[in-house]
Structure 1
Amino acid sequence: MQRFALTKLLAWKESPYRKPLILKGIRQVGKTWLLKEFGKLYYENTAYFNFDENEDLKQFFETTKDVHRIMQNLMLASGTKILPNKTLIIFDEIQDSPKVINSLKYFCENAPEYHIACAGSLLGVTLAKPASFPVGKVNFLQIHPMTFTEFLLASKDDNLIEYLQSIKNIEPIPDVFFNRLYEKLKMYYVTGGMPEPVKRWCENNDVDAMQDCISSILTAYQRDFAKHPNINEYPKISIIFRSIPSQLARENKKFLYKVVKTGARAREYEDALQWLIDGGIVHKVYRCSTPSLPLSAYDDLSSFKIYLADVGLLRSLCQLSVTAFGEKNRLFTEFKGALTENFVLQSLIAQSDIMPRYWSQTNPSYEVDFLIQKDNDIYPVEVKAENNVHSTSLKKYKELFSESVKLRVRFSLENLKLDGDVLNIPLFLIDYTDDLIKIALKSKDNND
C-alpha cells in the first residue's frame, strides 16, 4: 500500500517548527499502519506505545510532567531505545488518556528533540470536549480514506497513473484509457477507500473477504456509538447513522430530522449528529446563502446535507450488492446518484482544508451540488452520475453570479472537455481537479 500522507509526514519530520503530531481520522482508516510505515522508512527505529492494550503505561504520565523522566520510564518498560531526533515515538489509542494528551505541551516546550506522533480511534470526539488541551503546542494531520489514485497504486495500475499524470491539455481521454479507468472506478465504488478492504481485493480479488471486512468496519462503528458519555444518545446516533441512505436517496438531499424519525426535532438529535461529525464518520456540508469569500461567513446553519466518510461504506450501508459492479452504470445511478455525490465530496475533502458548501434557491428551485474554494476564487460544481450533463442549476448560477464565475466545473462520465466556461472532468480524474482547473483557466484566457 502507498499513502500520499507519507509525504506530509516527511515534511513534518523535517520542519524546523515541528511539534508533537496528532493524526486524526476515522477508525480503520490506516493511522497506525501509516505511522509504523513512516518510522520504518525514515527513522533509525520506532518506539510504539498502545495505551489501550497496555493501560499501565498511563501511570507514567499521571505521576509527573517531567518529560525526560517519562521517556526514561517508557524505555525501561518497553526495552526500546529512544534516541532524540532518530526515533519515531508513537503514542497510539490516546483518546481515553487525557494526561498523555496534556503531556504533549511539555514535550513541545521542554523536549522538542523527541519526535512524537499520536493517533487514536474517535480522537476527534475527544478533542471536541472541553478539557485541558495543549492549544498551539501540537501539529495536526487529517488522514482520509485512500483516494482513487491510491487505489490504482494498490491495484498495481501504475501505467494508468502515469498516463493521468501526463495530461497537460484539456482534450478527450483515448478510449483505451477511458474504459479501463471507468471499470476501475466502478470497483472503487464497491471497495471504497478503507485500506483493509482495498488490500483484500487487490491482493486476492476476493469479493466476499472484502465485503466481510467492510461489514466488520460498519459493525465496529456502531459499537463505538455506545461510547458517547450520555448513554441516552446511543440510540439517536444509531438512528441517524442508519438514516443516511434515506437522506441521500431523496432528490433534495437537505438533511431532514423527520427522515430520521417521524416527529423528530433538531434539539433532540443535534448532539447525536454532532458526535458523528466530531468522530469523522459523517461530513456536514452547509448551504451557502451567498457565494462570496470567505464561504464560512455565508453558511446557512439551518440547511445542510450529510455524507458518509467513505463511498464503499455507504454502498454497504445501502445494502447494494457487489454484483452491481457488473451492471453497466447501475453503481453510478443507484440512489439517485448518491454514491457518486458521496465519492465526489470525499475526493474534494482530501484535496483541501476548506469544506465544500452547496448553493440552492427556491421558487423556482435550483441547486448546485458543491461550491469549492481555490485560493480566492469560488467554483460551482455539478455532479452528474451518467452522461446526461444538462444542468439548469449550473446555468442559473452563472446568470446570478456571472461577475465572479471564472469557471464552472462538472464531474460526470463524459470525456474531458472545456465547453466555454464549463470544464467537464471525468469522475476518475477527480484527484487532478486542481491541475485541470489551472489548465482550463489558462486555455480559456488564451482563447479570450
Structure 2
Amino acid sequence: MLRRKAMNQLEAWHASSSRTALLVTGARQVGKTYLVREFAHRHYANFVELNFIEQPDLAQAFEGQRDVQNMIMRLELAAGHPLVPGETLVFLDEIQACKEAATAIKFLVDDGRFDFVMSGSLLGVELEDIRSVPVGYQSEVPMFPLDFEEFCWSRDVGEDVFAMLRECLAKREPVDAFVHEKMMDLFRQYLVIGGMPAVVASFQQSGSILDVRTMQEDIKRAYRRDISQYAAKADRLHIKTIYDLVPSELNNPNKRFTFAKVGKGARFKAMAGDFDWLAAANVALPAYNVDEPRKPLEMSKERNLFKLFYSDVGLLTGAYLNSTALNILSGDDNVNYGGIYENVVAQELAAHGFQSLYYYNSKRLGELDFLIQDRNDRVIPIEVKSGKNYKVHRALNNVLAEPNFHIEEGLVLGPGNVEIAGKVTYLPIYMVGLLENQ
C-alpha cells in the first residue's frame, strides 16, 4: 500500500464536528479512488461505491430529485443492501457524469444520516455545477501524483530523514554528505519513475524500468482518450497536439511554448481555451511570464507567454529516449536535463500550495526559471540547475542586484548541498517539495 499525504486531509474531515460532503479532485490515475476505499475501510462498517461511468443507469436515482427519502431508497436499491445510519460512507465516483448528484448533495448532507465523498476525472473541465454546492456543504481535497517525499516512503525512507532535511532547510545548514548522496540517487529514480501510483507500485514490486515505460505510455494514451471524449470536437486535434508537443518544447533552450508548432498560423487568442482545458484537466501545468518580479505576481502575468509542463515528471522523462533515463540514473552530470528538472520543480511547487506558477524573462536581466510568492508575501526567485556548473546564474545575480525589486533572497535548486553565498541560497534539488505554501 502506498502512503499518501492526502489521507491526513480525509482524516481531518472525518474528525470534524461540522460534517460536509467531500470532493476529491485531481487528474486521472493519481490514486483518488484507491485512497477513498482505504479511508472507508479504516472508518466505516458499511461502504457503498457508485461509479456513474461504469453504471450510467445510476444517474436515474438523482434525476429531478429533491426528496431525500426517495434518493436514499434509490441508493439502497443501487447498493443492493440497506444503508446503516451513522456507519455508512457513500462514494459517488466519476461524479462529472452525473452533475445532478452533486446538486443533490446539499439535501443529503442536511439529512445527516450518511457520509458522502465525491470524486472523478476531469473535474476541472466540468466543475461548474459540482462546485456550485453552497459553502458549508462541501469540502475539497486536491490530489496530485506522489510527491518526492511520498515516493521516498515507497522506497522505505523513514520520516526521520525528512525531519532532518527540514531542519537543515530551516537552519540553512548542509545535509550530511552520505544522506545527500542517497537522496540524490532517490531523486534521480523519481525523475524517471515519477509519481503516478500504479507506476510507483509496479517499480516497487518488479524494479523494471521497461514496465515503468509501458505503464507511462498507457497513462498518456488514457489522457488522449479523455481529450477525444470530453473536449469539444472542434478543439480535440489542437489539444492533443499541444499535449504531445510538451516534451519537445521543454527540450528547447528557452522552454517557452511556441504556438506556431501547433499549426500554420496558430495564434494564442484562438487556442487559449485549449491550453486552459489541459490545465483544468490537471494533466498539464502552465507557468506564466511576469512583467517584473514584484508582488502580486498574478497582476503582472502575461497570459500569452508561458511554459507548459506535464503534471508528472515520469510521463515527461518517458517521452524521451531510453538513454536519457539511463543517463539520469547513472548520475551523468554532463547531460543537460534542464526541462526535466524544471518539470519536477513545477510539479512539486504545485503540489505544495503554489497553485499559480510564474517565471521572469527580461532582455536586459535574463531569465529566471520560477518565481514564487511565499506565505509571508515575499517574492523569491528560483533558478533550477541540473549540471555541475550550478553556481553560474547571471539572471539571478542581476535581479538580486536590482534595488527596485527589493528581493531579499534567491534560491538555486541543483545537485549541490545547502550553502549560502550573499543573497543566494543553494539547495539540493530534492528539497523543492519542502518549500510549502499551505
Verify same fold: TM over 0.5: yes
Cα gap change, 1:157 to 1:144, in 2 (>3 Å): same
The Cα shift of 1:238 comes to 1.1
**Helix, strand or coil: the match of 1:368?**
strand
Rounded to whole Å, the distance in 1 between the matches of 2:19 and 2:402 is: 45
Cα 1:149–1:132 change in 2 (3 A) is: closer
1:297-340: CA deviation from partner (whole Å, max 9, x where unpaired): 22222222211101000111234454334443369723xx1000
CA change 1:83–1:133 in 2 (3 A) is same
Shift of 1:225: 1.2
Pick closer, same or farther for the CA change 1:227–1:174 going to 2, 3 Å.
same
> Residue 111 of structure 1 aligns with which residue?
111
- Specify which of 227, 230, 252 is matched with residue 228 of structure 1: 230
The whole-number CA distance in structure 2 between the counterparts of 1:262 and 1:139 is: 44
Q: Which residue of 1 is the match for residue 41 of structure 2?
A: 40
- Pair 1:291-2:293 in alignment: yes
**Structure 1 CA distance for aligned equivalents of residues 118 and 44 of structure 2:** 16
**1:428 pairs with one of 425, 430, 433:** 430
Q: 1:163: how far off?
A: 4.4
The answer on whether the counterparts of 2:238 and 2:274 sit within 8 Å (CA) in structure 1 is: yes
Cα 1:273–1:166 shift into 2, 3 Å: closer
Aligned letter for 2:133?
P
Task: Report SS of the residue matched to 1:193.
Answer: coil
Counterparts of 1:32-181 in structure 2, within 5 Å, are 32-108=33-109, 110-127=110-127, 133-136=132-135, 137-158=137-158, 160-161=161-162, 163-164=164-165, 167=168, 169-181=171-183
- Corresponding residue for 1:323? 326
Among residues 253, 276, 279, which one is paired with 2:278 in the alignment?
276
Tell me the equivalent position of 2:383: 382
Contact 2:365 2:398 (8 Å CA) reproduced? no
Q: Residue in 2 aligned with 1:444?
A: none
Unaligned runs of 5+ in 2: none
**Which of 393, 414, 425 is matched with 1:412 structurally?**
414
- Who is 2:316 aligned against? 314
**Mean Cα displacement is larger for which, 238-247 or 156-165?**
156-165
Alpha-carbon displacement from aligned partner over 1:182-208 (angstroms, at most 9, x marks no partner): 111111111100000000001221222
Q: Sequence identity of aligned pairs in percent?
A: 27
Moved more, 306-315 or 367-376: 367-376
- Please say if residues 400 and 408 of structure 2, whose CA atoms lie closer than 8 Å, have aligned partners that are also in contact: no
CA distance in 2, matches of 1:274, 1:331: 36
**Which stretch of the first structure deviates more once superposed, 252-261 or 379-388?**
252-261
Instruction: State how far apart, in whole Å, the 2-side matches of 1:103 and 1:385 are.
Output: 50
- The 1:94/1:325 distance shift into structure 2, 3 A limit, reads same
Give 1:131 deviation, angstroms: 8.5
Listed one character per residue, the Cα deviations across residues 113-166 of structure 1 (whole Å, up to 9, x for unaligned) are: 5321111111111115x7893253422221011011111111112264464356
Structure-2 change in CA distance of 1:319 and 1:269 (3 Å):
farther
Tell me how far 1:213 sits from its aligned partner.
Answer: 1.0
Report the equivalent of 1:206. Answer: 208
Aligned to 1:446: none
The answer (yes or no) to whether the contact 1:332–1:340 under 8 Å persists in 2 is no
Task: Determine if contact 2:96/2:120 at 8 Å carries over to the other structure.
Answer: yes
Structure 1 match to 2:7: 6
Structure 1 counterpart of 2:336, from 333, 337, 343: 333
Cα offset for 1:175?
2.5
Q: CA deviation at 1:18?
A: 3.7
Q: Distance in 2 between matches of 1:284 and 1:403?
A: 24
SS, match of residue 199 in structure 2: helix
| Residues 156-165 or 307-316, more deviating | 156-165
Per the TM alignment, residue 80 of structure 1 is displaced from its structure 2 partner at its CA by 4.3
- Between the aligned partners of 2:231 and 2:308, the Cα distance in structure 1 is 23
Q: Is the 8 A contact 2:333 2:387 kept in 1?
A: no
Q: CA deviation at 1:400?
A: 2.1
Task: Give me the whole-angstrom Cα distance separating, in 1, the residues matched to 2:179 and 2:283.
Answer: 33
Most deviating of 230-239 and 316-325: 316-325
Alignment length, in residue pairs? 430
Higher mean C-alpha deviation, range 79-88 or range 247-256: 79-88
Q: Is the 8 A contact 2:242 2:262 kept in 1?
A: yes
User: Per-residue deviation at 1:402?
Assistant: 5.9
Residue of structure 2 equivalent to 1:445: none
More helix, by proportion: 1
Counterparts of 1:112 and 1:145, CA distance in 2 = 33
Preserved CA contact (<8 Å) 1:354 1:373: no
Maintained 8 Å contact 1:84/1:115: no
Report SS of the residue matched to 1:90: strand
Cα distance, 1:331–1:126 mapped onto 2, change above 3 Å: farther
- Distance in 2 separating the partners of 1:304 and 1:237: 16
CA distance in 2, matches of 1:325, 1:409: 23
Preserved contact between residue 336 and residue 386 of structure 2 (Cα < 8 Å): yes
CA RMSD of aligned residues (A): 2.3
- Please, what TM-score do these two structures have when normalized by structure 2? 0.91
Output the CA distance in 1 between the equivalents of 2:183 and 2:216: 23
AA paired with 2:119? A
Aligned-partner Cα distance in 2 for 1:132–1:307 = 26
Q: CA deviation at 1:69?
A: 2.5
**What letter corresponds to residue 126 of structure 1 in structure 2?**
E
| Alpha-carbon separation, structure 2, partners of 1:80 and 1:210 | 40
Q: 2:191 aligns with which of 181, 189, 192?
A: 189
- TM-score, normalised to structure 1, is 0.89
User: Aligned letter for 2:223?
Assistant: Y
Partner of 1:342: 343
Separation (CA, whole Å) in 1 of partners of 2:198 and 2:401: 46
| Unmatched tracts of structure 1, length 5 or more | 436-448
Q: Is the 8 A contact 2:293 2:405 kept in 1?
A: no
Provide, for residues 2-57 of structure 1, a one-character-per-residue CA deviation record: whole Å limited to 9, x for no partner: 00111111122223444212111111010101111111123333221111111221
Change (3 A) 1:275 1:354: closer
